Every structure is written in C-alpha cells, then in structure tokens.
Amino acid sequence: MGTRAARALAREGARVLTIRVVPCLDIDAGRVVKGVRFSGMRDAGDPTERALAYEAQGADELVMLDVSATPEGRGNATETVRRVRAVLGIPLTVGGGVRTIEDARALLEAGADKVASNTAAALEPSLLDRLARTFGSQCTVLALDAARRQDGAGWELVVRSGKERTSRCAVAWAREAASRGAGEIVLTSWDRDGTRAGYDIELIGAVTSAVRIPVVASGGAAHAQHMLEAVRAGASAVLAASILHDGEVTVGDLKRALAAAEIPVRM
Amino acid sequence: MSEVIVVDTGTANLASVCAALVRVGAAPRLSTDASVVAAAERVVLPGVGAFGAGMARLEATGLAVALTKRAREGRALLCVCLGLQLLCRESEESPGISGLGVIDAAVRRFEDRAGLVVPQLGWNLVEPALDSTLLASGHAYFANSYRLDALPAGYSGALAVHGSPFVAALEKGALLACQFHPELSGAWGHALLGRWLAKVRAC
C-alpha cells in the first residue's frame, strides 16, 4: 500500500463512517408534503427540485416516502422515483406501499437504491427475509414508526401511516427485523414527528442498543443540537423534513454545526 | 456519446448506475449477452446482492468467461460493489462458490466487533495509493457487509477504514473496481466516472 494512503489513514486514527444527514421527502400525488404526527399535510414543493437542492446543500442521501400509498391502497410512486433518479447523484431510499418483492423491484428499476417497508413487514415479517435474500440486506430497510405507550412503559409499533397502534414492542420488532435481514432502520418517533420538539432520544438509545445495523433517527428535529443528541445516543444518520423544507436551515448549516461538535461529517 | 455496456445482473440498482452514466455523457445499454460484453469498448459490472447468486447468473449466461478475460487483459471494465468481490477467488458470504478468480484473494465479512455497524452504510474516506491514476482522495458512499482486506500484488487502488483498513477500490489499466458506489457518490463519484470514461478513450 502506498505510504501516502497509509499515513492519511493513520492520521484519521480510529475514525468511523461519517454521520449522514438525510432529508426526507413525504410524497403525495407527486408533490412533497409535510404534516404533524402524520396528518394535516401541506404542500412543500416539487420532489425533483427539492432533491437537487438538498444534494447541492450536501445531503448524504434522500428518503422518499409515499405517505398515501398504504391508506389508499395505491401503488408506488415509481414515476416520481424515476424523475428524481435522473438528476440525483446520491442514494435514494423509497418506501410506501411496498408489499411484495415485485413492488420493491419496480421501485429499484425506477431508480431507488434501498427499499423501505413498514406496514407490510409488520403484518408479514417474512417480507424482510425475502427482500434481503432477493436484493441484499444493504437494500432492505425497515421503516419503524414507534409511539410511547400510554402507561409510559416503552414504545409500541404504529402502522398504516401512523393511524394504527399495534401494542407490539417496537424494540423487539427492531431486533426481529435485523435478524430477518433488514440492513437499516429508519426509526420515526410518532410522538415527535413534525413537532420540532427533538428526537425521542430514549427510543434511539433503546433501538441502537438492541441491533448492530445502522439506525436513522427520525421525527422531531428542529436544529443541530437535536441531531447531536441522536448521534450520541447511537444513531448512524439523522433525518429531517420540516426544518429543511421551510428553509429554516440548510443541510450545510446542520453539518457545519455537527462538525464543530466533532461529529464526523462529509463536508 | 460513448456507449457503455452495463451487465444486466437482474437485481442491481441498475437505474442508478445508468442515470449516473448518462449524467457524465455516456450512453449506457443493458446486456446479458456474453459476445456483446466481450466485444464492447466499455463495460460496467454493477453489483447488488449476494456473491453466490451473482456468480450463478454470470456462469449461466457465459458472462463469467467474457468478464474474466476482459479483467485479465486490463480492458475497460468498471466493477461496482459486489462486482469487485466477484473478481476474487471466493467469499465468506457464499462458502464453496468460486468467484471469477481474477484476484487470488478471499472476501471476508467485516469483523464482529462491539460498536462496528454492519452493513457499512454511508460515506467513508477513500485514500488512493501513490500510483493510482484514476482515484482521488474524498468521501465515497459504501453499502457492504463484506470486503477485501488488502490490495493484491500488481494492482493500484485505494483504501478506507471500517474497523480496520479495507480495499475501497482496485485499479489496473482500464480496469477499475470500486467497493463503493461511484454512481451514488455525488460530485466526487461523478468526477471519477468521468475520468474512467476519459481513460478508456485515451487507451
């Protein structure tokens, strides 16, 4: 190995992967929307324009969720995926309405790099095994929406775009999903989604302690301090929507703040 | 426009690979035809999925022979992610399955070590060897659980660290094999794809 490379790597010491900052586009009928606790959706722009702007700001990847796919039994937003893929040079995770291997294949063929499953995986967990076997774990993402139980004892899994509580333990489900072959978890706090009250740090800690696969913190981010807390709790990536869509901060602002706190980020 | 034959591996993120090639000015065309792959000026072997399944497809279509020949001759070939691993002799992912064997080395899983997230999903720093002509220092996007742990003799390339150093890319003539995904590595990956295309033209 060349000495320059060896020296550079030694300088980096025991460095880890950079922490990813991930804008999330909730998609309804080909438009970006955003609500609070999964409802009260309002328009937040064109997906292609948003995707281009976020890549230019330094986004590490994008998540696109077809939020209306499950409730209305609609198919996947393959056309939107195709348009975004044509311009986007960073990874794209797509979820919403993924019920079968063929649904996933259609999204991958349209330009997704990873496919996220939520409700369908919760109802039929073997979907995760089949996705991982067919496309690989690195392509199989569990979208896990978790709500604090009324009695405060842990979190329960929420399905159908936040509309249905299942009473199932969210942490146990995360562990099972990882053992079935999920390669990543996008972990959304139902309680914090769209509220800007900060991520549910205890939830992130509980799930990242239970699995070895990367966990993307989601739901409640208002500023870089919240992201710093999520990373310290074990998150590999931090997701944000409202604050970016509203132009309050850019991905670059968030990354500069994280870098100042000595969190490794790609600048 | 430079035509690039993209091996249709069935389960790879082909759309992302093709979209990136279009953005750097190439004209990608999908093929599973061994004679097309043998004759093409430029070939991309994308790779997502398991080692055993990937090899089975290459063997069944006769692509294994065509790709091995291309790689050995240092003709224009870009292998991505699993594509790099398939060049090797074998992989821990699929015991008992022979790879293309262009590189006499075994692919192994990242160590099972506390705090080491596997799969490696995200951006990691790539540091090229001194004699690399294509690779530049920078962050690339990785999505892998398995890796080659040292540059084989006769190859230039680049290293990165996830727990311990591993091969981020291999380079020899117009053969470029990347453990990362250049098609998903933003402006840095875009520039690398552009240099690979330009190098092919110069050969």
* Tens-place pLDDT, residues A8-20: 444 444 456 899 9
**C-beta separation of A222 from A243 below 8 A:** yes
pTM over 0.90: yes
User: B114 falls in which pLDDT band (50, 70, 90)?
Assistant: confident
CA A259, CA A251: separation in Å to the nearest integer? 12
Contacts B159 to A, Cβ<8 Å: 1, 5-6, 9
| Count of A-B CB contacts under 8 Å | 146
* Residue B54, pLDDT above cutoff 50: yes
pLDDT, tens digit (0-9, with 9 covering 90-100), for A215-259: 999 999 999 999 999 999 999 999 999 899 989 899 999 999 999
* Residue B59, pLDDT above cutoff 80: yes
Share of chain A above pLDDT 70, in %: 91
Q: Cβ B123–A266 below 8 Å, yes or no?
A: yes
* Residue A3, pLDDT above cutoff 80: no
- The closest of A200, A167, A173, A201 to A185, measured between CA atoms, is A173
Task: Calculate mean pLDDT across residues B87-111.
Answer: 96
User: A202 falls in which pLDDT band (50, 70, 90)?
Assistant: very high
Smallest CA–CA distance from B153 into chain A, residue: A1
Number of H helices, E strands in chain A: 11, 12
Tally of domains within chain B = 1
CA distance A167 to chain B (A): 29
Residue B175 structural domain: 2-202
- The closest of B29, B79, B74 to B58, measured between CA atoms, is B79
Query: Residue A169 belongs to what H/E stretch?
Result: strand A164-169
* Residue A75, pLDDT above cutoff 80: no
β-strand pairing of A140-148 with A31-36: unpaired
Q: Cβ B123–A20 below 8 Å, yes or no?
A: yes
User: B13 falls in which pLDDT band (50, 70, 90)?
Assistant: confident
Which range, of A42-46, A191-195, B136-140, averages the lowest pLDDT?
A42-46
User: For chain B, what is the mean pLDDT?
Assistant: 93
Instruction: Kindly report the CATH number assigned to the domain that includes residue B38.
Output: 3.40.50.880
Strand order across the beta sheet in which B88-91 lies = B88-91, B103-109, B146-147
* Active-site residue, A66 included: no
Interface test with A, best of B9, B117, B179, B181 (most A CBs within 10 A): B117
* Structure-token pair, residue A223: 């500023």
- Residue A139 DSSP label: G
> Going from the N-terminus, what domains does chain A have, and what CATH number goes with each?
3-260 (3.20.20.70)
Q: Cβ A85–B158 below 8 Å, yes or no?
A: no
Q: Give me the residue from A85, A108, A214 closest to B117, CB to CB.
A: A214
Rounded to the nearest 5 percent, the helix, strand and coil shares of chain A are 40, 25, 35
ipTM of the complex: 0.93
User: B200 falls in which pLDDT band (50, 70, 90)?
Assistant: confident
